[in-house]
Amino acid sequence: MSISRPARLVAPAVLADGRGLSGGMLRQLFIGQCLVLALHLAWMPAWLVGLALLVAGYRLVQLRRGLPRAGILLRLAAVGGLLLALWLQFGTLGTMDGLVGLLLGVYLLKLLETHDRRDARVVVVIGLVATTVAFLHDQGIPMAAGALLAVAWLLQSLVWLAGATGLRQAWRETVWLLVLSAPLMIVLFVIFPRLGPLWSMPQMDRASTGLTDEISPGDIAELSRSDARAFRASFEGREPAPDERYWRVYTLSHFDGIRWSRATPEQLAATLERPVDAFVREAARSPWQSQEGARFSAELLLEPDSRPWRPTLGTPLASGERQRYLADGTLEGLTPLSSRSLMNLSSSGAPPTSPPAAGERWHRLLPESANPRTRALAERLWRESGGDPDVYLEAMMARFGEAPYRYTLSPPRLVGEHRVDDFLFDSQAGYCTYYASAAAVMARMAGIPARVVAGFLGGERNPDGHFTVRDYDAHAWVEVWRDDAWRRLDPTAVIAPERIEQGARAVDDGAEAFLADARFSPLRMREVGWANRMRLEWERLEYQWQRAVIGYQRESRRSMMAQLVGWWREAWDRLDALLPGRGALSTTLGLMAVLVVAGGLALLARRGWRHRRRQRDPQWLVGNLQSWLARHRLAARPGESPATHLRRIAPQAGPAGRALEECAQDLERLTYAPLEEAERHQRRRRLASRVAEVRRRLGRPGR
C-alpha cells in the first residue's frame, strides 16, 4: 500500500470571488495588526486590543453572512469614538502618546473598509509605519526582535497580495526580500548619520532620574522602592572607588523651614540683580573650574528625561559638546533628552572650588523662627567649639554618629512646622535627606555657608566594567564653604557606612521598603548565583547594543569610516611591500583593476540594452514564456502555435488563466493586425505585464 504525501500547505485565495478579499487574507491582515499592536501595548491603552477584536469580529460576521459593507456613517462614528477615547485617555491629542494612539486606532479601523488588493496594501503600509513608530517608545533588543517579526509578517502579506500560491512560496519570498535588503540597511546605517528629530520625539512628561528640583526629608526614601535605571557609565583609565562615586545632579540652596529647593540661574539673576552669565555659561568646557583637576573620564549612557539634568562625578570640567555649566558646579544640557543619549564627560570627582556666585550670605539664609530647638543646639555646639568652624562641624558630625540616631528606609513621617527639630530630638531616625537637611541647617545656624546636593551615590559594576546607577541609588549630602573651596559632608557615612560601600540594599532596617515598587525585579535574585549571572550578562548585552547600535552617531560614523580606510591602506601597503618593483607594479595592478571594473560595467550595460530590445519583441517574450511553461510541465504540443498553446493551457493554470488568454490575444494582434504605433506600444507593454503576471501566479519551477 502506498503512503500518500501530506498535502502542501496552501492559503486560501487572496480574492474570494475575484474582487473582494477572502477570509484567509483578512485573517492575515488581522494577525499583522496584532503583532504591530503588541509592540505598543506597554505604552498604549489596553482598550486598543478590544478595538482590534471588535473590528475583526465585525468583518468576520460580515463575510460569513454576506452583510453589506460598513457605511460612511458607521466609519465616521468609529473615528469619532476613537478620537473621544484618546482625548479622555490622554487629555489631549497633541502629545506623542496621543498621536501614536491615533495612528494605531486608524490602522485598526482601516480593516472596516478593506475589500480589495489596493485596500489591503494600504493596511500593510500603515502597519510598517506603525512598526517604525514603536521605536519612539523603546529601542532595546526585545523591541528590535519584535519589530523584525512584525515586518516579516507584513512583507509576507504583501507577497500573498502579489500572487503567491502557497505558504512555502510566500515565506521563501519574504526571507529572500529580507536577505536582499539587509546589506542595503547595513550600508545606510553605517554611512548615513541618524536624524534625531525624525528618529524620536520629545516626551516632556517623562523623567528618568526620579529626582525633583526640591526635596524634603523623606522624598529620596521613596526612590528606594524603584529599580528604574537612571544612567550607565564606563570609565577610561582609573575607576572611582565606592566612596568616590558621588554623582551630583543639582544643588539646593533655598530653605523655607520645610523644603529645600533649587534656585535657577535666571531666578538668582532676577533676585540679586546680576547678569545671568554670572551664574551659567554655555560651553564645551567649564569656565568656572581649572581643567588641570580632571581625575575621571567617563562615557555616560543617559536615559530619556524631560529635564535637562546631566549627572557628573563631582565637578564637571569638559564634555564632548556644548552644555550649560552652572556656577554651583552642576551641569545641564541645552535640551531635555527625548531618547537614550551618549555623553563624554571629564570631571574632578570632588566638590567645586569656585566661590559661591550668589554670595556667601545667600547660603546662610534661614527662616528666623523655624526649628528653635535646633538653633539652641547649634549655639551650644558653637560655644563649645570656641567659635572654630572646623571644630564645630566635627562636633556636629560626631553627634549624628551617636545613639539613638539610626539610618532607616522606613522613617517616621514628619508633618510638623519644625521638622528639623522633630527629627533631631523626637524621631531620631531617617534616610539621607533627613540627615543632609539637618546638617545644612545647623551649618547655616553657625554662619557657615552650606547647601544640599541631590544626586546618586554608588552604582552596580557589571563584569565588563560599566556601572549602572538606578533610582534606589539616589542620595543627598551637604557642601559647606571652607578655606576658599566647597567641602563635602555626608552624615550618612557616619551613621551607616555600609550604605556608602554597598548601596541602599545594605540597610537592614526598612528592608521591606527596598524595591517595594519592583516586586518582580530580577535584582531581588542577586543572591542566586546563576540568576544574577544571567541578569548581568543580559545587561551587558543590552548596554553594548545601546552604545554600538542605538548610540551610533556622527562621531562613531567618522571613526568607523576612518578605521575602514586605515585597514584598506594597511592591507595595500602590505601587498605592495611583498611585490618587487613596488611603484610600477602598483600602478599596473591599479590600471588592471580599473579595466576589469570598466569591462564589467560595459558588459552589464550591453546585456541590459539587449534585454530591453528583446522585451520589445513580442515573439521573444512569448517564446521565453513558453520555455518557462515547459519547465512547469505545460509545454506546447508539436506543431502548435504559440497563441493556441497559451489558450489550451489557460484552463489548467488556475489564477494565471486569464493572463494567458490576454497574452494570446495581444500576440495575435501584434503579429497580424495593422496597428498604429501608439497602440502597438501599448500592446507590447501590456503583453510584457501579462507575461510577468503569469510567472508570478504560477510560481517558480519545482514549487
For 423-465, write each residue's pLDDT tens digit: 899 888 888 888 999 999 999 999 999 999 999 998 888 888 8
Domain chopping of the chain, boundaries? 7-191, 214-539, 616-699
CB 238 within 8 A of CB 295: yes
- Does residue 86 carry a pLDDT above 50? yes
Report the distance separating Cα 431 and Cα 220, nearest Å: 8
CB 392 within 8 A of CB 446: yes
- Does residue 6 carry a pLDDT above 50? no
Report the distance separating Cα 23 and Cα 56, nearest Å: 11
Q: What is the rounded average pLDDT of the residues 178-186?
A: 87
Percentage of the chain beyond pLDDT 70 is 83
Q: Pick left, alpha or beta for residue 562 (phi over 0 → left; psi -120 to 50 → alpha; otherwise beta).
A: alpha
Q: What is the rounded average pLDDT of the residues 58-73?
A: 84
Could you tell me which residues come within 8 angstroms of residue 61 by beta carbon, excluding any fewer than 6 positions away? 67
SS3 292: helix
pLDDT of residue 623: 85
**Residues listed for the chain:** 703
Report the distance separating Cα 548 and Cα 321, nearest Å: 19
SS3 250: strand
pLDDT of residue 4: 40
Percentage of the chain beyond pLDDT 90 is 29
pLDDT digits (tens, 9 = 90+) for 556-575: 666 666 777 778 777 767 76
Buried residues in 285-306 as b, exposed as e (16+ CB within 10 A): bbebbeeebbbbbbbbbbbbbe
| 219 compared with 5, residue with greater pLDDT | 219
CB 579 within 8 A of CB 585: yes
pLDDT of residue 210: 57
- CA torsion sign for 203, 209, 215, 218 is positive
Between CA 41 and CA 45, with CA 42 as vertex, the angle to 5 degrees is 55
CB 677 within 8 A of CB 608: no
| 194 compared with 355, residue with greater pLDDT | 355
Return the number of other C-beta atoms located less than 10 Å from residue 170's C-beta: 22
pLDDT of residue 109: 93
Evaluate if pTM is beyond 0.85.
Answer: no
Buried residues in 603-612 as b, exposed as e (16+ CB within 10 A): eeeeeeeeee
pLDDT of residue 508: 52
Question: Concatenated DSSP letters for 12-25?
Answer: PPSBSSSSSBPHHH
pLDDT digits (tens, 9 = 90+) for 662-690: 888 888 888 888 888 888 888 888 888 88
Q: Residue 552: pLDDT band by 50, 70, 90 thresholds?
A: low
Report the distance separating Cα 700 and Cα 578, nearest Å: 49
- Does residue 248 carry a pLDDT above 80? yes
- Does residue 703 carry a pLDDT above 50? no
Strand partners, 309: 332
Catalytic positions? 432, 475, 490
Q: Pick left, alpha or beta for residue 163 (phi over 0 → left; psi -120 to 50 → alpha; otherwise beta).
A: left
pLDDT of residue 9: 41
Q: Pick left, alpha or beta for residue 203 (phi over 0 → left; psi -120 to 50 → alpha; otherwise beta).
A: beta
| 141 compared with 536, residue with greater pLDDT | 141
Which amino acid is located at 172 in the chain?
Answer: R
pLDDT digits (tens, 9 = 90+) for 16-44: 655 678 888 889 999 999 999 999 998 89
Which residue has 502542501 as its cell numbers? 8
- Does residue 343 carry a pLDDT above 80? yes
| 498 compared with 365, residue with greater pLDDT | 365
- Does residue 622 carry a pLDDT above 90? no
pLDDT of residue 207: 42
Q: What is the rounded average pLDDT of the residues 77-92?
A: 90
CB 300 within 8 A of CB 311: yes
Report the distance separating Cα 653 and Cα 629, nearest Å: 10
Mean pLDDT of the chain: 82
φ, ψ dihedrals at 245, nearest 5°:
-90, 60
C-alpha cell belonging to residue 576: 605592495
Question: Concatenated DSSP letters for 527-542?
Answer: TSHHHHHHHHHHHHHH
- Does residue 507 carry a pLDDT above 80? no
pLDDT of residue 204: 40
Q: Residue 323: pLDDT band by 50, 70, 90 thresholds?
A: very high
- Does residue 700 carry a pLDDT above 80? no
Report the distance separating Cα 235 and Cα 341, nearest Å: 16
Q: What is the rounded average pLDDT of the residues 386-413?
A: 86
pLDDT of residue 16: 60
Q: Residue 203: pLDDT band by 50, 70, 90 thresholds?
A: very low
C-alpha cell belonging to residue 203: 516626551
Which of 1-10, 308-317, 644-653 is least confident? Answer: 1-10
Q: Residue 578: pLDDT band by 50, 70, 90 thresholds?
A: low
Q: What is the rounded average pLDDT of the residues 141-145?
A: 90
SS3 623: helix
Which residue has 530647638 as its cell numbers? 373
Q: Residue 69: pLDDT band by 50, 70, 90 thresholds?
A: confident
CB 168 within 8 A of CB 9: yes
pLDDT digits (tens, 9 = 90+) for 514-536: 666 566 666 667 667 788 788 88
